[in-house]
């Protein structure tokens, strides 16, 4: 967690994880203290706001028979019936399958930090603000170029087709997150077993770094309105040359990393 000081007010930037364990269901001392001091909670998207999750039109991605069979095999591997996600973009299907695979490690999206923070904020009567729109997220997640999208789909399928390796990566990510090891998180591309060529690196930059300037702008705007915020953004956004803490410094914030804590 980082403190963000500007305009005589303090906000907080919290690195979140999109999956979690049941024992994460209650905020630790640090999060409780932050929640007690802020006027609002800001998330990439509010997972409990149904209106915000109305799916906009998505680009179609034609697949050959071999890719369709590989995709269907992954649905079966996580015990989903055939066609359960047929109306969902293939890249979002593979993202869903990865999250479902995480259940083998005791991880579940229901205990992800965004879900819990949204509920904790509501329990305390705090407004929950969105930093992005679903449309904007999808534009970042889904390449406009069909061949680039198919390349990313094949890369995702390769990860899913090696479940032991995928689970090791997920387990490492949770361990790195749990101990607040920002240095190792910054080297994610070296150990994730998911970056094998220039196209993979481009995709990772688009999905993470590419969204950070707009996130920083939105955080700055909300803080400037006079609100003290608890901002939760995915941990990967805190890494790389366009790391969110660095961009917020450019917006005039005094950004201070709080020392690692054994509890949230």
| C-alpha to C-alpha distance for 256 and 4, rounded to whole angstroms | 7
Token representation of residue 243: 């790391």
**The predicted structure's pLDDT at residue 262:** 59
**The predicted structure's pLDDT at residue 260:** 76
| C-alpha to C-alpha distance for 150 and 178, rounded to whole angstroms | 33
Q: Which residues contact 110 (CB under 8 A, 6 or more apart)?
A: 20
Quote the pTM value: 0.94
**Residue segments in the chain with a per-residue pLDDT below the cut of 50:** none
- Residue 264 lies inside a defined structural domain of this protein: no
Contact 238, 15 (CB under 8 A): yes
- Residue 263 lies inside a defined structural domain of this protein: no
Give which of 14, 220, 38, 218 is closest to 132, Cα–Cα. Answer: 218
**The predicted structure's pLDDT at residue 263:** 56
Count how many domains the chain has.
1
Contact 59, 142 (CB under 8 A): yes
**The predicted structure's pLDDT at residue 264:** 59
Burial zone of 239 (CB within 10 Å; 0-12 exposed, 13-18 middle, 19+ buried)? buried
For residue 46, count other CB atoms closer than 10 A to its CB. 23
- Residue 67 lies inside a defined structural domain of this protein: yes
- Residue 246 lies inside a defined structural domain of this protein: yes
Block residue for tokens 């390449």: 143
Contact 17, 111 (CB under 8 A): no
Domain carrying residue 183: 2-257
Token representation of residue 103: 């259940």
- Strand residue runs (E) in the chain: 2-6, 9-16, 40-43, 128-130, 229-234, 254-257
| C-alpha to C-alpha distance for 86 and 40, rounded to whole angstroms | 37
Contact 21, 112 (CB under 8 A): no
Half-sphere exposure of 224 (CA within 13 A, CB side): 10
Contact 207, 140 (CB under 8 A): yes
- Residue 262 lies inside a defined structural domain of this protein: no
Contact 2, 261 (CB under 8 A): no
């Amino acid at each position: 967690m980082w403190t963000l000081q500007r305009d005589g007010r303090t906000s907080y930037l919290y690195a979140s994880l999109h999956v979690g364990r049941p024992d994460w269901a209650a905020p630790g001392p640090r999060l409780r203290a932050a929640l007690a001091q802020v006027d609002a909670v800001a998330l990439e998207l509010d997972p409990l706001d149904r209106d915000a999750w109305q799916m906009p039109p998505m680009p179609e991605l034609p697949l050959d028979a071999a890719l369709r069979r590989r995709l269907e095999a992954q649905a079966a591997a996580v015990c989903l019936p055939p066609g359960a996600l047929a109306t969902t973009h293939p890249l979002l299907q593979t993202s869903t399958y990865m999250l479902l695979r995480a259940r083998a490690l005791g991880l579940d999206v229901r205990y992800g930090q965004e879900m819990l923070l949204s509920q904790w904020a509501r329990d305390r009567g705090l407004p929950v603000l969105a930093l992005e729109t679903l449309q904007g997220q999808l534009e970042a997640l889904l390449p406009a170029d069909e061949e680039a999208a198919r390349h990313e789909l094949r890369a995702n399928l390769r990860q899913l087709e090696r479940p032991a390796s995928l689970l090791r990566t997920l387990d490492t990510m949770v361990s790195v997150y749990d101990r607040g090891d920002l240095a190792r998180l910054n080297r994610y591309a070296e150990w994730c077993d998911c970056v094998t060529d220039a196209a993979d690196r481009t995709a990772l930059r688009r999905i993470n770094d590419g969204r950070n300037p707009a996130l920083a702008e939105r955080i700055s705007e909300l803080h400037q309105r006079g609100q003290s915020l608890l901002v939760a953004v995915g941990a990967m956004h805190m890494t790389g040359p366009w790391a969110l803490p660095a961009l917020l410094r450019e917006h005039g914030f005094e950004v201070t990393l709080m020392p690692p804590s054994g509890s949230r």
